[in-house]
A and B are shown apart, each in its own frame.
Chain A
Amino acid sequence: MTLSVTEPIHKVWLVDDDAAVRDALRLLLELRGLVVESFDSAEAALSAIGVDSRGCVLTDLRMPQMTGLELMFELRKRSIALPVVVLTAHGDVSTTRAALRGGAVDFLEKPVDEDILADVLSYAISEDARVYQRRLETDARWARIGALTPRERQVLTLLGRGKQNREIAVELSISPRTVEVYKARMMEKLGCDTLADVVRMSLTLESA
């Protein structure tokens, strides 16, 4: 089973109110081959980041209006699952805990070692890509499942529950041969080669 995915640009969405910090980090990260988009406030970042944005957010904690933590919670509220790395000059325990519990990938203290920063960011970006990939696959599965007729869908569900062709025939009051036909058509539509693929697809259906 292969899925063709058009790769969106993985960016580091950098948010810091200090212009020099912003500029220096941007330069440093770009030299390391990352694509950086920087903002001077959480509000500005929020207006640019959407559900389709890829990569990860690197934000300062203390900013005049909205803080880095508030930005993170706001992103989650908007169902934007972009990983967040928090950068701060004040690394106190309680904010760290709150940040990590709120789903931040990591919490780094300024001035940050650029090797560690690069590691953390590439981990965050790959994590985002992984999550995104999984979401794409799920979406694709759903698209295929959507193409099934009601009968084919029933056969898929029952196969997923481990039923034999004969049992399915009895349950749906059709002949085993007809079940075979539905099964073949369904597997073709879903692009499944093995029964294992069918079961995986049915799990997507069950999880809905």
Chain B
Amino acid sequence: MIHQSGVSLHPGITVRAGPGLVVAYLLAHVALDSMSFVQPVLKLGITPLSPQTGLALAFLLAYPRGVGWVVLALLVSEVVIRGVPSPAWVLLLHALGVAAVYASAAHIMQRIGVAGIGATLSSTLRFIVAAAVTALAAALVGVGVYTAFGPVPQSMFGPALARYAVGDFNGILLLTPLLLRLPAAGMLASVIRQQPVAFTGVLLGIVGALTLVFLIGDPQDLRFFYLLFIPAIAAALTWGVPGFLLAAVALQAGLILGVQRLPEVAPLLDLQLLMSILLATGLALGAVITERHDSARSALQREIELRSRETSLARASRVALTGELASTLAHELNQPLTALVGYLRAGEIMVGERHGGDPRLAPTLRKAANEALRASDTLRRLRNFYAGRDPQLEPLLMQPLLAQIIDTLRHSDRVISAEIRVTPIDSGMTVYADRVFVGVILANLLTNALDATDGRPTRSVEIDATVSGGLVRIVVDDDGGGIPSPVHDELFKAFVTSKPDGMGVGLAVSRSLAEACGGSLTLGVSSLGGACFVLSLPTAALTGDRI
């Protein structure tokens, strides 16, 4: 939820800026610049906070061709907010130089992959470093222009540079990730609504810390500033990067307000330097939290996926099993019913030949035979109902299919100590069969193998697949107890089992399913000393009818 980035703002994918976006950008740029025009150097736009830089960078990341608009925004800001403090060409030169730095920075950020700003620690750290370099470069260019051609004296170069760089750095850290991850921040709002206590706590923390910094502590003394870390870090820990950014915006607004409204506070630059540290720390910490949340969530998703795969396999297995059960039951009961009908009809004929006796005997025998026929008919309907579906034959790649089945089984706890080895098979090996049927057969064979090896000191199950003569032979071998020879002949018959709690339908079902796919399931010779089964499936579509 926190992780999802905006579709259009995904770095690397750029958007077409419509006039609405451009106008919104220009207005926001001027507004942000105006709001943060605090303690400037010589009434120039050199302030310890430049949120408009963060906006410009986000704009350029989303819309790399918008450099011209950034230049315009820089010029308009100067004129609207500060009048014309230096010659127009100097302003233009400044705007051009700084915009060029921002554009290059946006380009480089795209290249080094900041797609995961706020989502992964590594890309967040890369972003922080890139932001620092960008801020420094922009400060060098911007202050350089003003010093060389404009109003800034040589002696002021150092302090102006620091102020400019810190302002840009904070602006970028504060606003660029927030804007790029606006949808995530939007979603956060609903998350926060569900946690009113934590939200109130963080809010109170921010207000309380700001009060301490500005009202209770010595305004010149910044030792209380560190209290601001508490709510900021609490937000980062609770809601990851978006949560931290929202808290940081609130903090920053509080700082600006405090500096503007209260007399004799510490210079904003000092506050902003501390703010830089807070921003960098919070972003990195938030990224760690977000990353952890994401990986926990994807693990959960994987878990859910596995579970549903498991249940769908179990369901398919149960359906196949019921079908085989119904079919076997129908067959086994139909035999005595056939005999019964035969005897009754024979009896009827015999009675008919003989005269005397009760005249109701023949019709009674006929009725009894009809009842037997009715029972048989019910069985037939039962069998047809559970006959299962026709196989849906399609080409299936063996390698991923096997991997998926083993993965599903690994997930169930019976595999914990067993070793399943799959002989490397050709990645292009394909069978032409029903996906669910093959899944049920292999899961059944592997489950049998795992059950057979259960409780033994070494447990190993080997799977091998080879192609020969239009058939893929999949061999499942284990080092378990093997099949007792009395059972050999009847192994694939229903209700024959060597397991104490088994019903003896698994292999019968598996063989029926294999045959439905045009394949076969036979007992092989184990090389591990246990039981070995060979599943053969056609590699390609069978043409014509098969017998």
Cross-chain contact A31 with B342 (CB below 8 angstroms): no
Q: How far is the CA of A163 from the CA of B342 in the complex (A)?
A: 62
Chain B residues with CB under 8 A of A18: 335-336, 338-339
Chain B residues with CB under 8 Å of A102's CB are 547
Contact B547 A111 (CB under 8 A): no
Report which of A89, A98, A111, A112 forms a contact with B372, defined as CB distance below 8 A: A111
Q: Is the CB of A27 within 8 A of B330?
A: no
B493 CB to nearest chain A CB (Å): 8
Q: Which residue of B lies closest to A102 (CB)?
A: B547
Among B349, B372, B546, residue most surrounded by chain A Cβ atoms (within 10 Å): B349
Q: Is B327 a contact partner of A114 (Cβ separation < 8 A)?
A: no
Contacts A20-B336, A94-B545, A111-B373 known; A28 to B342 CB distance under 8 Å?
A: yes
Q: Tell whether, in the assembled complex, residue A114 and residue B335 are in contact, meaning their CB atoms are under 8 Å apart.
A: no
Whether B49 sits at the interface, judged by CB under 8 Å, is: no
- Determine the distance from Cα of A167 to Cα of B336 in the docked complex, in whole angstroms: 73
A-side contacts of B338, CB under 8 Å: 18, 21, 24-25, 89, 110-112
Chain A residue at minimum C-beta to C-beta distance from B375? A111
Q: Who on chain A is nearest to B327 by CB?
A: A90
Assuming A90-B331, A111-B334, A111-B372, is B350 touching A21 (CB within 8 A)?
A: no
Q: Which of B334, B343, B346, B349 contacts A110 (CB 8 A)?
A: B334
CB-based A-B contact count at 8 angstroms: 68
What's the Cα separation between A111 and B547 when bound, in Å?
24
Assembled-state Cα–Cα distance A52/B253 (Å)? 111
Known: A21-B338, A21-B339. A31 touches B346 (CB 8 A): yes
- A window 63-95: CB within 8 A of B: 64, 69, 89-90, 94
B547 near A110 (CB under 8 angstroms)?
Answer: no
The answer, among B336, B345, B350, B546, for a CB contact under 8 Å with A114, is B345
| A31 and B350 contacting across the interface, CB-CB below 8 Å | yes
Cβ contacts under 8 Å, B330 to chain A: 89-90
Interface residues of A in 98-156 (CB under 8 A from B): 98, 101-102, 110-112, 114
Q: Are A114 and B342 in contact (CB under 8 A)?
A: yes
Q: How far is the CB of B367 from chain A (nearest CB, A)?
A: 15
- How many residues on chain B are close to A (CB under 8 Å)? 24
Residue B47, interface by CB 8 Å: no
CB of B108 to closest CB in A, whole Å:
68
Using CB atoms, name the residue of chain B closest to A18: B335
Residue of A nearest to B516 (CB): A94
Assess whether A10 is interfacial by the CB under 8 Å rule: no
CA distance A23 to B347 in the complex (A): 13
Q: Are A28 and B337 in contact (CB under 8 A)?
A: no
B492: min CB distance to chain A, Å: 11
Q: A11 — which chain B residues lie within 8 A by C-beta?
A: none
Enumerate chain A residues within 8 angstroms of B343, measured Cβ to Cβ. 24, 27
Q: Is residue B341 contacting chain A, with contact meaning CB distance below 8 A? A: yes
Nearest Cβ on chain B to A181's Cβ, whole angstroms:
58
Q: CB of B39 within 8 A of chain A?
A: no
Per the 8 Å Cβ criterion, residues 13-36 of A in contact with B are: 18, 20-21, 23-25, 27-28, 31-32
Flag if A23 contacts B547 (CB, 8 Å).
no
Q: B-contacting residues of A (Cβ < 8 Å)?
A: 18, 20-21, 23-25, 27-28, 31-32, 62, 64, 69, 89-90, 94, 97-98, 101-102, 110-112, 114
